[in-house]
Chain A
Amino acid sequence: MTTAVVDTPITEDALREALAATQRPSRPSALSASLSFGWRAMLKIKHVPMQLFDVTAFPIMFVLLYTYLFGGALAGSPSEYLQLLLPGILVMNVTWITMYTGQGLKLDMDKGVFDRFRSLPIWRPAVLVGMLLADAARYTISCAVMLAVGIALGFRPDGGVLGVLAAVALLLVFAFCLSWVWTAVAFRVPTPESVMQIAMTVLFPLTFASNVFVDPATMPGWVQGFVKVNPISQLATASRGFMHGDVDAAAVGWTLVWSAALLVVFAPLTMRRYNRA
């Protein structure tokens, strides 16, 4: 899109008028500043809708591939496997998308506009929180797409609408907290690609060495040990519980503990770097 843009002359009077005594307004609240940055992210999606590819096309491919490739072998039939898989693959996908948050932040940081944001008299974490809020919207879209595909393929959650919503809400909380890990990474590495590499290295084993795809019962003992404590497993178990109307309070509790721990460690690490980058 390289349409020629019309350039009109400036007039000194209009300039003087624009400068004349605007009262300095009072500082907006933390929430308002964060929402403004969320609005910015939404505008970007509006201008370049292709950004939504990773939260729509990929999830559809994953659901289709895993259901039909492994369903028969692992659970007797694709539709039976789907009951186990869908809550898990929701977890895997959203967890994976969190790394784009780190990459996006790194891309933003390398531009001049980031300096302007940092020089504004606003609540300091607003830039990041706004970005994460907008990402939560992306995660929600991703979940909605996968659920729609899943239901079309025969996914039947016994937990009903409320159960599904509870599972998605828990997933969003975890994803929001996990995103701070990648924002902290973004401040310490030289390029957006390195954010992705580090995130992949962590997320790949974490999501596969979990109970997302299969029951860990057939795995060797030491792998089972890891799978059991893996937060991704806890989250997958919790989200299955909500969706199938069989709430696992321990898994929900552990997921919240993990989320809080990630936030408490990585949000301050991010902010410390942000303040002196």
Chain B
Amino acid sequence: MTELAIEATGLVKVFGETRAVDGIDLAVARGAVYGVLGPNGAGKTTTIRMLATLLHPDGGSARVLGHDIVREAAAVRGRMSLTGQFASVDEELNGRENLQLLGRLLGLGTRGATSRADELLAAFGLTDAADKLVRDYSGGMRRRLDIAASIVVTPDLLFLDEPTTGLDPRSRNQVWDIVRVLVSEGATVLLTTQYLDEADQLAERLAIIDHGRVIAEGTRGELKASVGAGSLHVRVRETAQRDDARRVLAESLGADVLVESDPAALSASDVDADRAAVALSALAAARIPVAEFALGQPSLDEVFLALTGRPADAPTEQEEDAA
């Protein structure tokens, strides 16, 4: 099966004056997690809604699992599942009923739907919550039910729209585990996220989108190389020594060191762990005591800064308005 799971060319969606999606191309291979990374309002949800046949594109075209999303929408629907950004489960029903309903709608029959619901509830750790209304579920449980609802009949392609936004770290890890199992069992997952570490954890390849356009695409390694390493943050113990510290660090790193608004703080971007260690030793050798230091992963902001020369924009809310 060399055919692509998703093949989009020049997808466009316009809401009023806003080009929410402004010519997106995607080529997603089968059997892996593909990440779509971008800030709020970048066009991620609109893109997913078009690919999932919920929204007609205003331009361009796309094939999902070999079927055109407009002309063969029914065939696309028959093979993919969608887990939307705002939990796509029914809050006014309980967990079991949610899964039973989908089982019935997908043709499992009343009895088949019930046994499938119980099987999924057990697999997703929701058996004890099966008879409670979803309204009373925690965010993590709701998300798990949501994903369970997407695999009542195992889909060939699963869309996960910001599956961990708003979840606590433990629930987030659970969702990640579920996604890994899904992919190891052969599913293809298209995942959107605002979090770089999520994309890093799960996705082999990713596209970074901004203002409705793909601004970078490639494997994790390629994108990281293009962005560079993380930044080193140092706070000296004596503010009077900051200028000395800055000189020592700049010399050791061979790069610009910036002064922060905190009078004791300095930072340098694109520093890997080895060079950071050498630079910190240089400070110690120069007898400049350090109060604290940190080596951060490049944040989404830094990725954007590296790719576009400007930070990620504040959310525009256009997607929610349009939905």
Q: Does A33 contact B (CB under 8 A)?
A: yes
Docked-complex contact A9 and B125, CB < 8 angstroms: yes
Cβ distance B120 to chain A, nearest Cβ, rounded Å: 6
Report the interface size class on chain B: 35 or more
B111-128 toward A: CB 8 Å interface, digit per residue (1/0)?
Answer: 010001001101111111
Contacting pair B141 A5 (CB below 8 A): yes
A18-B119, A18-B151 given; A276·B55 CB < 8 A? yes
Q: Across the two chains, which residue of chain A brings its CB closest to B151?
A: A19
Q: Mark B284-316, 1 if CB is under 8 A from A, else 0.
A: 000000000000000000000000000000000
The complex places the Cα of A21 from the Cα of B174 at a distance, in Å, of 22
Q: A121 contacts B74, CB within 8 Å?
A: yes
Give the CA-CA distance A32 to B104 in the complex, in Å. Answer: 8
Contact B120–A10 (Cβ < 8 Å): no
Cα separation A21 to B149 with both chains bound (whole Å): 16
Q: List 18 A-B contacts (CB under 8 A).
A: A5-B129, A5-B138, A8-B125, A8-B126, A14-B123, A18-B151, A19-B151, A25-B153, A28-B105, A28-B107, A39-B101, A47-B93, A112-B87, A113-B87, A119-B52, A119-B80, A120-B77, A122-B106
Interface-facing stretch out of B1-9, B177-185, B195-203, B234-242:
B177-185
Whether the Cβ atoms of A40 and B90 lie closer than 8 Å is yes
Measured CB to CB, the nearest residue on chain A to B184 is A16
Q: Which residues of A contact B112 (CB under 8 A)?
A: 25
Please tell me if B19 contacts chain A, counting CB pairs below 8 Å: no
Q: Kindly state whether residue B154 has any CB partner on chain A within 8 Å.
A: yes
Whether A15 lies near B178 (C-beta < 8 A) is yes
With A and B bound together, what is the CA distance between A120 and B76 in angstroms?
A: 9
B160 contacts which chain A residues (CB < 8 A)? none
Query: What's the minimum C-beta distance from A57 to chain B, rounded to whole angstroms?
Result: 21
A44-B77 contact given A16-B181, A27-B107, CB 8 Å threshold = no
Answer whether residue A69 sits at the interface, using C-beta atoms and an 8 A cutoff.
no
Q: Which of B74, B104, B123, B138 contacts A15 (CB 8 A)?
A: B123
Most chain A CB inside 10 Å of its own CB: which residue of B123, B126, B133, B136? B123
Q: How far is the CB of A20 from chain B (nearest CB, A)?
A: 7
A24 — which chain B residues lie within 8 A by C-beta? 78, 153
Chain A residues whose CB sits within 8 angstroms of the CB of B119 once the complex forms: 17-18
**Contact status A276-B122, CB under 8 Å:** no
CA distance A37 to B178 in the complex (A): 29
| A residues near B80, Cβ cutoff 8 Å | 119
**A48 in contact with B92 given A6-B128, A111-B86 (CB within 8 Å):** yes
Interface string of B79-93 (1 = CB under 8 A from A): 011101111111111
Cβ–Cβ contact A43 & B81, under 8 A: no
The answer to whether the Cβ of A11 comes within 8 Å of any Cβ in the partner chain is yes
Partner of A12 from the list B53, B90, B137, B181 (CB cut-off 8 Å) is B181
Residues of A within 8 A of B109 (CB): 25
Instruction: Decide if B133 touches A1 in the complex (CB within 8 Å).
Output: yes
Interface size on A, residues (CB 8 A): 49
Contact of A115 with B88 in the complex, beta carbons under 8 Å: yes
Question: B124 to A113, Cβ gap below 8 A?
Answer: no
Question: Of residues 43 to 62 in A, which have CB atoms within 8 Å of B's CB atoms?
Answer: 43-44, 47-48
- B91-A111 in contact (CB<8A): yes
> Known contacts being A15-B123, A19-B151, is A40 close to B136, with CB within 8 Å?
no
Q: For the complex, is A79 an interface residue (Cβ under 8 Å from B)?
A: no
Closest 4 CB pairs of A and B: A25-B107, A18-B123, A116-B88, A112-B86
Q: In this assembly, does A156 line the interface, its C-beta being within 8 Å of a C-beta of chain B? A: no
Chain B positions within 8 Å of A117 at CB level: 105
Q: Which residues of A contact B56 (CB under 8 A)?
A: 276
Task: Report the Cα distance A249→B203, complex, angstroms.
Answer: 68
Picked from B82, B85, B97, B124, the residue with its CB within 8 Å of the CB of A43 is B97
Residues in A with CB closer than 8 Å to B122 are 14, 18
**Chain B residue contacts of A201, Cβ below 8 A:** none
Indicate if the CB atoms of A116 and B141 lie closer than 8 Å: no
With A18-B120, A113-B88 known as contacts, the answer to whether A10 contacts B178 (CB < 8 A) is yes
Asked if B182 contacts A36 (CB within 8 A), the reply is no
Instruction: Choose from A3, A21, A22, A39 the contact partner of B104 (Cβ within 8 Å).
Output: A39
Shortest Cβ distance from A47 into chain B, in angstroms?
Answer: 6
> Does chain A have a CB within 8 A of B282?
no
Please give, as numbers and ranges, the residues of chain B lying within 8 Å of A277 by CB-CB distance: 54
Min CB gap A191→B, angstroms: 13
